Structure 1
Amino acid sequence: MRWDARGTVALFASALVGVVAGVVVGLSTGSPEAGNADPPGGPTGSPSASGSAQDPLGLGVPLQNLDCTGEKILVVGWGEEQDAGELYNAVSANGTNDVKYLETSKSCNTLYGDANQVPPTYVAYLGPYDTIRDPCAMQMTSAHARDFVTNLKPGVKIHVQCLCVLVPATFPKLKVGMHATTKDGVYIRALQQLLVDVDLLGPKRITGQYDEKTSRVVERLQELNAIDAKPPGSVDELTWQMMRDKGCLTYDF
């Protein structure tokens, strides 16, 4: 039998490749180094996107519950843990105003939402303020047209009526057919709310529009108080002052 050198070389080369491959496989499938091993229970994921104890809803602003101190806050939004859209919107709209939020069940037992609805779980707010004028001055602007001031006092059932706090000389003149701005609408709604609270206007008449129905009620009050407004039923400074002096006596906020 002849020795085939070429076959022997080929066989040797094949064996060598197998040895090298085995070494590579062994190196690649061996146990990982201690520094690279995953901890028990699997690899560690990225940090959780959920909120912290200081911001459980993840709104990007602090949760700060409030006690009954008699201070005032401007409520700018409210919502629930599973439906926090309005809270996010409130934070976004008030990003430069030091907005915070609270959990109503762990804060002062006062009025945070609509008077005739179940209290919200969370409320976004500005403040608290030592005086009532500061939050009211903010509330009676177009930027806070749907917001309201509440008193951190236990058992409060109504929001602060800011017409009773601010100076009537700064209020707009109102009349039927006027082109009302957003700010005018804030004052009209406040006036209509006052008339509702003294039972001179129905709750459904709070429209933000100075309409004939509102004007007729105002005109009757002007007649009773000898106010000669021009045109009758329009609201001038003297009428605003009368509304404040008479209507605000009924409030306890």
Structure 2
Amino acid sequence: MSLRKRTVSTTIGLVLTVLLLLGIWEAAVFLFSIRPQILPAPSVIFHSAVEDWAALSRAVHATSFEVFWGLLAGCLLGVLAGLLIFASRILQSSLYPLLLAAQTVPIIAIAPLIMIWMGFGYSGKILLVAVYASFPVVAATVRGMKAVDRSQVQVARSLGASWPWVYGHVFLPGAARQIFTGVKISATYAFGTAAMSEYVGAANGLGVYLNAAKVNFRTDLVFVAGFALALCTLVLFALLSVLERVLIRWPEGGVHDD
């Protein structure tokens, strides 16, 4: 089966599974007469989303703005840090373990500090997303460069290639798939990170939307916010997967011909 057919088959299977689960959910709420304040039916949640579309769209736009710039900055920072760590044994033994340990610190422990230092504007949220997005990219960059075939490096060096050329044309292309894996891992957490920072303090965003729904006991809108975060994450992941297929056309560990 070709990659395209496999992708279509997987997508159809996923959609059918989601529709089946939503159908079971809808039926369960109806059969057991569950109150909407406890568990609203999917149809009620959809109606609430349409009814509150103006506020929801503003919240999605604000959070997406933070995620875009934060993820972009975090990925660039992660690749650069990964390059430096890979090139330096001192950094590998000192800084790298600290970075790996730092990613285990809960967002809720860092977000209040960022808000105190940078205020409740976009900059603090973008910084928080960038910091947490950089961790998987750093690890993936180092891991990918370590997996590059050293014979390719030796051939390039024997032909007079400089180290900057080797890093740009051998190590980075060879590690590209690993790096994109790190980027996609970061993407799965980016919207959650942004929403958590907004939840701590912000003027707009899905975190603010979620907090307002909780305060007003709008269970339906709590679900709306959750589904919006999940859908945004899936769209972002899909876009990155397409970008990966477009940009990476050489085998893992291979050499870029340019």
Question: Which category of TM-score, normalised to the shorter sequence, fits these structures?
Answer: under 0.3
| TM-score, structure 1 as length reference | 0.19
More helix by share: 2
Which structure is larger by alpha-carbon Rg, 1 or 2? 1
More strand by share: 1
Higher RCO (C-alpha under 8 Å, 6+ residues apart) = 2
| TM-score, structure 2 as length reference | 0.19
